[in-house]
Amino acid sequence: MEDGIARIGVSLPKNLLEEFDAVILNRGYSSRSEAIRDAIRNYILEYKWMEREEGEVVGVVNVIYNHNVKGVNDSIINLQHEFHDIITTTLHIHLNSEMCLEMILVRGDMKEIKRLVDRISSTKGVINVKLITAMRE
Ligand code: NI
């Protein structure tokens, strides 16, 4: 049994909601509420997983950023030099006239990798950061 149902009101940019609706339509969700519940569950799971993880990890940090934002390129390069101990390789893909995808291959202690992810996430101009771990040693 569900432990009661709470209703919430959420304000979203219109285009974000339109994108969300398009995705859930494609994925066959019968209602927006159901899709939002799943999204929140996944968000919590991902957070808990990130919190718990420690030890040696190999993975990739995918960073999407707008290179027109002043200073963002320098910030991302400086951070990578700061964390050179855990960074193996970096791939840079120019997605379109303004957006870049930087794929940072990492190998090292999860705590350090998380620190790198946090620092990149809080950099101005960065749109999205996602860590995918390939294996644990
Ligand atoms: Ni680029």
Judgement on whether residues 27 and 67 belong to the same structural domain of the protein:
no
Which residues on neighbouring strands pair with residue 109, listed in sequence order? 56
Q: How many domains does the chain have?
A: 2
Distance 67 CA to ligand 1 centre (A): 7
Distance 16 CA to ligand 1 centre (A): 24
Distance 133 CA to ligand 1 centre (A): 24
Cα 70 from Cα 125, distance rounded (Å): 8
Judgement on whether residues 128 and 98 belong to the same structural domain of the protein:
yes
Distance 68 CA to ligand 1 centre (A): 10
Judgement on whether residues 60 and 121 belong to the same structural domain of the protein:
yes
Judgement on whether residues 131 and 69 belong to the same structural domain of the protein:
yes
Domain with 65 in it: 55-136
Q: What is the pLDDT of residue 38?
A: 92
Q: What is the pLDDT of residue 1?
A: 47
Judgement on whether residues 129 and 69 belong to the same structural domain of the protein:
yes
Q: What share of the chain is helix, strand, coil (3-state, %, to 5)?
A: 40, 30, 30
Distance 4 CA to ligand 1 centre (A): 48
Distance 98 CA to ligand 1 centre (A): 7
Q: What is the pLDDT of residue 137?
A: 44
- pTM over cut 0.85: no
Are 80 and 104 in contact by the 8 Å Cβ rule? The answer is yes
Distance 135 CA to ligand 1 centre (A): 28
Distance 92 CA to ligand 1 centre (A): 6
**Whose CA is closest to 127, among 62, 67, 71, 65?**
65
Query: pLDDT in tens for each of the 137 residues of the chain?
Result: 467 889 999 999 999 999 999 999 999 999 999 999 999 998 887 777 666 667 888 899 999 999 999 999 999 999 999 999 999 999 999 999 999 999 999 999 988 999 999 999 999 999 999 998 875 44
Question: Does some domain include residue 105?
Answer: yes
Q: What is the pLDDT of residue 24?
A: 94
Judgement on whether residues 46 and 59 belong to the same structural domain of the protein:
no
Cα 76 from Cα 82, distance rounded (Å): 10
Question: Does some domain include residue 131?
Answer: yes
Question: Does some domain include residue 3?
Answer: no
